[in-house]
Amino acid sequence: MISKRIYVAWVGIHFFLITAVCFAGLFSLVAERATILPSALDTYARKAELLAASLLGKHAASTSPVRRSIATYLHAAGIQSGYTFFAPNIPGYHKLIFELNYQDGRVEYESPHFSGKAAALRLDSLLARLGDNRYEPLREVVVKMLALSIWRERPDVKKIRATFGLVSPPSISEFEQGKGDSFQPLFSYDFSLRNDEKR
Amino acid sequence: MILLRRQWQKLLEFLFPPETDKWLAVFRIGMGLQVVAYALFLRSDWHSLFSTTGKGLVSRELGEAIASFDSPLIPKLGWLVAFGQNVGLGEETVLSLTWACLLCMGSCLVLGLFCRPAAIIAWFLHVCAAESGGLLAYGADNFMTMALFYLMLSPLPDRYCLDSRLVKTKPTDPRLLGFWRRVLQIHLCFVYFFGGLAKLLGSGWWNGSNLWRSLIRPPFNLLSPDILVRFKYALPVLGISICLIEVGYPVFIWMKKARFFWLVCILAMHAAIGLTMGMYLFALVMIVLNLAAFGVGIRVPWHLAGGTRHSAQFLPKQQLSP
């Protein structure tokens, strides 16, 4: 058996990293005012989040070997993100609707989909990420890819309008009064065929 | 100095308790089933999930670019595809082989055949898939990677696997077995404590609205809202109970008298998540982790013959360390 000291040192580093990841996630929620904690704590939470992130080497240059080593280890061990699932609150869910305009003037509506239930959960995860401001630079690219997948199935579509929005489900009392989901569009993109390329 | 030495000894005793390999067998078989289920559940969408631009739903290259931004050393399916192209295999063939290999490694883990290589390959392929489909990944992927990472490092093979029957192996040091189980136990305490704490900070878990919202939103809406409305007064109680069970886990799971109750509550919670929200993979991996970490060898309160025994008493004599 390798020296117990080596095992203990590894355990120390491993759980130190997990603690830093978990606190970074928790402080981020507080800083974003997503919790019931008073807003006076926001600034402290932001500072604490930055501190936790710096412990994980996230403030080092992207080429820094320390940053890369920590990131590789975190991803390899599956500990790169905290455990704040379904917390602190559950917002509405996001929906992406494609308006398909055919060459003969027909209009159909479609959503991106997988054939299996397990993959459908992943699509929900993708849409939740698209709604997150941190993923804003990727939105158009991802929506374009999703539109492209629809186009492959329906080559006679002339134009696609993609509308991404937030669906707010009713509360229990609203549901009892007969109210259903409400859809609030957040952004939309138009894609059309040009030079055999989907734009 | 003496005090420090005593603390160090206490730490070593805590981190290296003597253990049998029963928990490891449960962990191996459970994770084998998990890998098999993962592969089978994604069978029909495997190519849509991981194909490159123009073939998949979202390009694999995008997920890999995001992962590479964190570190170019993070394993990804693109490595395998590039390797395949060098030996004349197309992307589709490589992806199909990866899927088949994952299924095969899961089966090997269940049977206990080539345990260590199977665990390493399953971990590697799963990390590749999880990172390449990064934008489409969710909690179950992290837990699977984490569990396979621990399984790969644990002292395989256990004595219940086929490897041990086919090839005579040296019995594993019980303290090493205890160490890896302890790591798993501590990790689960982190998972539930931070998960529970984050939930307690949200108003929706105190009044039941979060439970309602999580159960009626697609794709988790397996239960009809009309059924939920009938139990609307139970939702706040359930919401608070979930938070308390999670946040109390690192305390009560270590107490001999409370351990069985707490474990049953946590397992019931995960089973309910699987059945009512359709998160089968997530539920299965959490159940496996809990059973391996705290379930094996647990004292059942009403089982008269099953008094609390020190784990070393379960060990066959030849397995005890000197």
Q: What average pLDDT does this structure show over A130-153? A: 87
Q: What are phi and psi of A97, to 5 degrees?
A: -115, 130
> How far is residue A177's CA from residue A175's CA, in Å, rounded to a whole number?
5
Helices B234-252, B256-277: crossing angle, 10 deg rounding: 130
C-alpha separations of A165 from A181, A183, B16, B169, B174 in Å: 12, 7, 52, 59, 55
Residue with tokens 């007969």: A178
Q: Name every chain A residue with its beta carbon within 8 A of the beta carbon of B209.
A: 171-172
- Is residue B306's pLDDT more than 70? no
Whole-structure pTM value: 0.91
A158 by DSSP, 3-state: which? strand
CB contact under 8 A, A124 and B149: no
* Chain center to CA of B134: 18
- Write down the H helix ranges in B112-161: 115-132, 139-153
Q: Tally helices (H) and strands (E) across chain B.
A: 16, 0
Question: Minimum mean pLDDT among A128-142, A156-170, B38-52, B308-322: which range?
Answer: B308-322
B284 or A111: which leads in pLDDT:
B284
Local confidence band at A91 (pLDDT 50, 70, 90 cut-offs): confident
C-alpha separations of A111 from A92, A98, A151, B102, B294 in Å: 17, 6, 12, 30, 43
Q: How far off is chain A from B143, nearest CA to CA, in Å?
A: 7
Q: What average pLDDT does this structure show over A123-145? A: 88
Res A165: pLDDT: 93
Q: What are phi and psi of B20, to 5 degrees?
A: -85, 175
Q: What average pLDDT does this structure show over A125-149? A: 88
Q: Say which of A26, A30, A114 has its CB closest to residue B57.
A: A114
Contacts of A155 (CB under 8 A, 6+ apart): none
> How far is residue A92's CA from residue A131's CA, in Å, rounded to a whole number?
11
CB contact under 8 A, B198 and A83: yes
Res A120: pLDDT: 84
Q: Where do the domains of chain B lie? A: 20-154, 178-316
- Is residue B302's pLDDT more than 80? no
Q: Name every chain B residue with its beta carbon within 8 A of the beta carbon of A90.
A: 204, 210, 213-214, 217
Kindly write down the DSSP assignment for every residue of A14-29, as one continuous string.
Answer: HHHHHHHHHHHHHHHH
- Is residue B56's pLDDT more than 90? no
Q: Which candidate in B16, B45, B55, B193 is best for mutational testing of the A interface (most A CBs within 10 A)?
A: B45
Please state, rounded to an integer, the average pLDDT across all residues of chain B: 90
Res B204: pLDDT: 93
Res A11: pLDDT: 97
**What residue of B is the nearest CA neighbor of A146?**
B57
CB contact under 8 A, B135 and A126: yes
C-alpha separations of B288 from B25, B283, B292 in Å: 11, 9, 6
Chain A and chain B share a number of CB contacts under 8 A equal to 221
CB contact under 8 A, A146 and B57: yes
Local confidence band at B304 (pLDDT 50, 70, 90 cut-offs): low
| Tens digit of each residue's pLDDT (9 = 90 or more) over B149-197 | 999 999 999 999 999 888 887 888 999 999 999 999 999 999 999 999 9
| Tens digit of each residue's pLDDT (9 = 90 or more) over B109-134 | 999 999 999 999 999 999 999 999 88
Q: Where do the domains of chain A lie? A: 4-77, 93-198
Res B93: pLDDT: 95
Q: Name every chain B residue with its beta carbon within 8 A of the beta carbon of A89.
A: 202-205, 210
Per-window interface: A 43-72 vs B, CB < 8 A: 62, 67-69, 71-72
Local confidence band at A199 (pLDDT 50, 70, 90 cut-offs): very low
Q: What average pLDDT does this structure show over A160-176? A: 93
Q: What average pLDDT does this structure show over B69-95? A: 94
- Is residue B82's pLDDT more than 80? yes
Local confidence band at A121 (pLDDT 50, 70, 90 cut-offs): confident
- Is residue A12's pLDDT more than 90? yes
Q: Which candidate in B136, B177, B223, B246 is best for mutational testing of the A interface (most A CBs within 10 A)?
A: B136
